[in-house]
Amino acid sequence: MQSQDQSSLSSKIISAVNSLDQITNVKMREELISLINELINEDFQSLIQLLYRIDVNEKKIRLYLEENSDKDAASVLADLIIERQLQKIESRKKYTYKNNADDHDEKW
C-alpha cells in the first residue's frame, strides 16, 4: 500500500508535468529529477505506476536507459516525461483548433 509521502511525491510530479508549456524550465526539470530519485529510492512501484499514468512508452524507457547508461536514470526519465507531456500539449492544441474550426463552420 502506498504511503501518504509517496502519494504526495506522485502528485507533485503530476502537477509539475501538467504545468509544462513549450519552454521547459531548468529549475522545474531539476525538481522533477529530484522527485523521481526519491521514488526510485523509496517506492519504485509507484514510479512505474506514475510512468504508466503519464503514458510514457515502456519500450522507449528501456531503450533510452540503455543508450544513456552513463547518465542518471532520474534525468533520463524526467526528459521522457517532459517529452511526453509536450507531445500531449501539441496534440490537444491541434485537435482543439480543428474542433473549433469545425464548430465555426457549423454555426449559422
pLDDT band of 104, cuts 50, 70, 90: low
Pick the more confident residue, 26 or 66: 66
pLDDT for res 22: 44
Q: How many CA atoms lie within 13 A of 49 on its CB side?
A: 12
Radius of gyration of the chain (CA): 17
- The parent domain of residue 87 ranges over 4-106
How does pLDDT run across 11-20, given as a tens digit for each residue? 877 777 766 6
Domain tally for the chain?
Answer: 1
Q: What is the pLDDT of residues 29-38, one digit of tens each?
A: 899 999 999 9
* Higher pLDDT pick, 9 / 59: 59
Residue 83, pLDDT > 80, answer: yes
Task: Provide the 10 A C-beta neighbour count for residue 36.
Answer: 23
Between 101 and 62, the more confident residue is 62
CA angle 57–79–74, rounded 5-degree value: 95
